[in-house]
A and B are shown apart, each in its own frame.
Chain A
Amino acid sequence: MSSSASPSPSPADERPLVRSTYAVWELTLRCNLKCIHCGSRAGAARCDELSTAEALDLVHQMADLGIREVSLIGGEAFLRRDWLEIAREITRSGMVCGMTTGGYGLGPKMAEQIAEAGLEKVSVSIDGLEATHDFLRGRQGSYTQCFVALRALRAAGIQIATNTQINRLSAPELPRLQEILRDAGVRMWQTQLTVPMGNAADHAEILLQPWELLDLFPLLSYLLQRGIEEGPRMMPGNNIGFFGPYERMMRTHPNDAEAKFWQGCAGGVLTLGIEADGAIKPDPSLPTAAYTGGNIRERPLRDIVYGAEQLTFNDDRGTEHLWGFCEGCEFADICRGGDTWTAHVFFDRRGNNPFCHHRSLYHAASGQRERLELAVAAEGVPFDNGVFDIALEPCDAPLPNNGFSLADVDWPEPWLEADPELPPRLAAERDRAVEVWRQTRLRRPPEGAAATASRLDTAG
């Protein structure tokens, strides 16, 4: 997609915000796994991926732009033959370089090469216990290989972390996974909700429904607190929130000077996404078609980052893009619709985020829940999305599948021996939150909810 952008910034066009300091770079779409939730539908390389010379030039453009940290991803980044040369140039240019990997095929020799190239940290994606992970990742033995990779990386002196997708299959296994990650020496654990992009759009059955957040958040909160003491420390990703009772607990990072809460999408403001063919997006997860601001083969990176509307829409973003529940939400001015990626891949439009803890609590307090159902299938290309309908219905309406609840959690035995009241306590915390919302938050009616229902009725 070409940009309707303005030209490079002039001195008079200085922006008040620090721009795009964290880049996530898909080096290749080639992958040795076949994940059923892969947002980029990775497998074969893109037909027109950047050459080595183009990639190295992009490294220099990123350094000139002020990028501070680059995460290499794929597909599987290390399947690109020149990836270590690119990684070395990133570190030589003064930027922190990390990698997120599926870990399949990453052994001691490669770990040494990674360390030699100057990568400081590598995150291995692990999406549940063995059976769940291997199913989601589409390859038997991939779970075992993750731990081969973690051991090799740790032995090579590289900081190891893990990324985990949360969905109906992995959610009940998170406590046992946390113990396994701790024992593997993982210190940091980033989690994010699986949303319907790419292959995941074809597998809506694994996605959580909004009401399942009511049970998920007390669990995540417990794991986060436990991880602070025992490790690994959970870092909820950008699409986990918003403005429920755990908001500040989840949004505040170690070493923050004060407690934080979500203050709007940072896509293009602090983050940058790069596809293997040189397409530039505000964030790696955003759909290609709607959010590509240009290609570095056609324009300098600086021009795209500062000039393309797709990269700068968050600079002066207010609340005008909000619709549905988010439009009338009491937190609208601060939140601005939560995570752009999540909202867009559900509704093909940003500004109405159904994966919101406050929203789920609000509806539960009203005796209702929202249910998402695929209405238009995704096209079948990388970083695409379908369109979902959303229905507001009574909490007790019959369902074919109730999905995830706290009752499904597979707790490690030592945890329950030490604290038998843990499961009922978290359930009581969930119920208490709903009651608090009933008593306090329902005074602030979401005016947009009626508008959404009307629009969807019309569309349907």
Chain B
Amino acid sequence: MKKNLLTPEQVADTHRTLDEIESAVFGVQVQTDVRAGAGCPPWSCPRPLYGVPDTYE
């Protein structure tokens, strides 16, 4: 399984699994801080050691 062969179906399946886990543990969907539609600059996704966190403002 190669990284660049990740399929949308795999991602969707994982979301479904995490939906099931969150529902079973918490009983509700957890808060994720998503502000729909805004998007995040791609370089801010990784959080390496010594990285400076961004306020995203």
Partners in one complex: yes
* Interface residues in chain A, defined as those with a beta carbon under 8 Å from any beta carbon in chain B: 16-18, 21-22, 24, 39, 68-69, 71, 73, 98-100, 121-123, 159, 161, 163, 187-190, 192, 225, 228, 233, 235-239, 243-249, 252-261, 263-264, 266-267, 270-271, 273, 283-285, 314-319, 331, 333-334, 336, 341, 429, 432-433, 436, 439-440
Q: Which residues of B contact A21 (CB under 8 A)?
A: 42-43
Q: Establish whether residues B52 and A161, one from each chain, have CB atoms under 8 Å apart when the complex forms.
A: yes
B-side interface residues, number (CB < 8 Å): 43
- Other-chain residue from B20, B22, B51 in contact with A248 (beta carbon distance below 8 A): B22
- Other-chain residue from B6, B24, B44, B49 in contact with A285 (beta carbon distance below 8 A): B49
B54 CB to nearest chain A CB (Å) = 7
Besides A283-B48, A439-B24, 6 more A-B contacts (Cβ < 8 Å) are A98-B52, A248-B32, A253-B45, A255-B39, A261-B15, A334-B11
A300 CB to nearest chain B CB (Å) = 21
Within 8 A of A (CB), among B1-57: 1-4, 6, 10-11, 14-15, 18, 20-22, 24-26, 30-56
A284/B2 contact (C-beta < 8 A), A18-B42, A228-B31, A334-B10 known: no
A235/B32 contact (C-beta < 8 A), A123-B53, A188-B53, A253-B40 known: no
A266/B55 contact (C-beta < 8 A), A316-B4, A331-B14, A333-B10 known: no
Instruction: State in angstroms the CA–CA spacing of A401 and B6 once bound together.
Output: 42
Q: Establish whether residues A24 and B53, one from each chain, have CB atoms under 8 Å apart when the complex forms.
A: no
Instruction: State in angstroms the CA–CA spacing of A334 and B40 once bound together.
Output: 21
A258 CB to nearest chain B CB (Å) = 6
Q: Which residues of B contact A252 (CB under 8 A)?
A: 32-34
Interface of B is mostly: loop
Q: Which of B3, B4, B36, B52: most chain A CB closer than 10 A? A: B52
Q: Which residues of A contact B20 (CB under 8 A)?
A: 440
A255/B30 contact (C-beta < 8 A), A248-B22, A264-B3, A285-B49 known: no
Give the nearest-CB partner of A224 in chain B: B33
Q: Establish whether residues A257 and B49, one from each chain, have CB atoms under 8 Å apart when the complex forms.
A: no
Instruction: State in angstroms the CA–CA spacing of A249 and B33 once bound together.
Output: 8
Q: Which residues of B contact A283 (CB under 8 A)?
A: 48-49
B31 CB to nearest chain A CB (Å) = 6
Q: Establish whether residues A270 and B30, one from each chain, have CB atoms under 8 Å apart when the complex forms.
A: no
Instruction: State in angstroms the CA–CA spacing of A436 and B15 once bound together.
Output: 17
Q: Which residues of B contact A235 (CB under 8 A)?
A: 47, 53
Q: Which residues of B contact A249 (CB under 8 A)?
A: 30-33
Q: Establish whether residues A285 and B25, one from each chain, have CB atoms under 8 Å apart when the complex forms.
A: no
Can you give 30 A-B contacts (C-beta < 8 A)?
A18-B42, A22-B46, A24-B48, A24-B50, A68-B43, A69-B43, A71-B52, A73-B50, A100-B50, A121-B55, A122-B52, A161-B52, A163-B50, A187-B55, A225-B31, A238-B48, A244-B21, A247-B18, A254-B40, A256-B39, A256-B40, A266-B45, A267-B48, A270-B45, A316-B2, A318-B1, A318-B2, A429-B25, A433-B25, A440-B21
A364 CB to nearest chain B CB (Å) = 13
Q: Establish whether residues B51 and A100, one from each chain, have CB atoms under 8 Å apart when the complex forms.
A: yes
Instruction: State in angstroms the CA–CA spacing of A39 and B22 once bound together.
Output: 35
- Other-chain residue from B10, B33, B52 in contact with A100 (beta carbon distance below 8 A): B52
Q: Which residues of A contact B30 (CB under 8 A)?
A: 245-246, 248-249
- Other-chain residue from B14, B32, B51, B56 in contact with A22 (beta carbon distance below 8 A): B51
Instruction: State in angstroms the CA–CA spacing of A333 and B40 once bound together.
Output: 24
Give the nearest-CB partner of B49 in chain A: A285
A238/B47 contact (C-beta < 8 A), A334-B10, A436-B24 known: yes
Instruction: State in angstroms the CA–CA spacing of A266 and B50 once bound together.
Output: 15
Q: Which residues of B contact A188 (CB under 8 A)?
A: 53-55
